[in-house]
Amino acid sequence: MAFAVGTAVANIYYNQPLLDQIRASFGVSLHEIAWIPSLTQAGYAIGMLFIVPLGDMRERKRLVLLFSCLSALTLALVACAPGFFVAAIASLMLGLSTMTPQFLIPFAASLAEPHEKGKVVGTMMSGLLLGILLARTVSGFVGAAYGWRAMFGLASAFQVLLVILLAFTLPKSEPSYHGKYLGLLQSVLRIFKEQTILREASFFGAMLFGAFSAFWATLIYLMQTPTFHLGARAVGIYGLLGAVAAGFTPVVGGLVDRHPARKVTGIMMALTLFSFLVFGLSASSLVGIGIGVILMDVGVQGGHVSNQSRILSLIPGAQSRLQTAYMFFYFLGGAIGSYLGTVSFGHYGWSGVCCSAGLLMVLGLLRYSIPTRKHPQV
């Protein structure tokens, strides 16, 4: 399941090292090309809100196979896009169809024993985060060698193979919600209103992923400055370096099983903020950027694991709806961060990216300084 999560979520990150290639291909501006990663993540956030709750209402294996097939089709559409408008709409559809990871993570959590839930979520998140980070490595090298269209075509073919693998290996599940779809969506809103911990974790997640996305959406532009004269391969190498940090997620999951998850989240947000200080001081240092990547990825991944461990234990039988609320805000933060980072780079350069991402983390830490009314350290 962790392998499937990683290979599926990679689909929405292949574009980031290739943005300059796509921009040149369609002849659009830096501000216009910012819509490609932003629409992809916005589509993912919309899918979280309206599609992921079905994981509690329908058999999850069928949903996983259906949306994996849809992902294959939308990847092919991106690869064949004749113009920028079609590519942008196809990017939105790609984000909307990439729901496989968000069906599988709560599925795995529902199968786990209570005392191992943090570890299981950590394992799943390792798969997710490896997919996010290694997507940039793969697309950086494939795009540099064969072009951005080849990368999306290859991803579409691989998605078809993933469908075949999942059809033979996934277990079946029993729905836990037996009402109507409208009632299902209303229950998501009700749960979000009732669960203070869920609302807080959603805000933390949005700030973390917003800062993370601001960095990765703009790294290609920094690498292409006269300071470095590098390109998509360099972004891919940093993605590979960041993937090393994914090995820490099961460790963080184990910490959450033994210590208050909220405290772990606070430490991870502080670490992420520190990483952007390192980035800001390393605008001309490849080594410094590498150190910052490791620090940032450990912070963001660790914060995500601790957040998920908090929310997926709140209401038995409602894991998909809890996941829906949390991940909607998580990727909404990512979409905002991608756009904010790109625009900041266009106006103020690398220092603008670091300041905008750092501001998001400061907002997260300010909220952390105000404990929740009930169970402040849960």
Residue of 152, 148, 143 lying closest to 234 (CA atoms): 143
Quote the pLDDT of residue 378: 59
Q: What are phi and psi of 173, to 5 degrees?
A: -125, 160
Higher pLDDT, 116 or 159: 159
Question: Is the distance from CB of 45 to CB of 175 less than 8 angstroms?
Answer: no
The model's pLDDT over 158-208, given as tens digits with 9 standing for 90+, comes to 999 999 999 998 888 888 778 888 898 898 899 999 999 999 999 999 999
The model's pLDDT over 194-243, given as tens digits with 9 standing for 90+, comes to 999 999 999 999 999 999 999 988 998 999 899 998 887 888 888 888 77
Quote the pLDDT of residue 250: 67
Tell me whether residue 185 is exposed, middle or buried, using C-beta atoms within 10 angstroms of its C-beta: 0 to 12, 13 to 18, 19 or more: middle
162: which 2 tokens?
């993933």
Residue of 266, 271, 289, 287 lying closest to 353 (CA atoms): 289
Mean pLDDT of 276-294: 95
The model's pLDDT over 335-353, given as tens digits with 9 standing for 90+, comes to 899 889 989 998 999 999 9
Question: Is the distance from CB of 163 to CB of 25 less than 8 angstroms?
Answer: no
CATH code of the domain made up of 2-368: 1.20.1250.20
Q: Is the pLDDT of residue 253 over 70?
A: no
Higher pLDDT, 324 or 150: 150
Q: Is the pLDDT of residue 115 over 80?
A: no
Rounded to 10°, the helix 19-26/84-97 angle is 140
pTM over 0.75: yes
Higher pLDDT, 254 or 55: 55
Mean pLDDT of 299-319: 85
Quote the pLDDT of residue 95: 94
Q: Is the pLDDT of residue 251 over 90?
A: no
Q: Give the list of residues 6+ apart from residue 122 with CB closer than 8 angstroms, or none.
A: 249, 250, 251, 252, 253, 254, 256, 305, 309
Q: Is the pLDDT of residue 374 over 60?
A: no
Quote the pLDDT of residue 14: 93
Instruction: Provide the percentage of residues in the chain whose pLDDT is more than 70.
Output: 95
DSSP 309: H
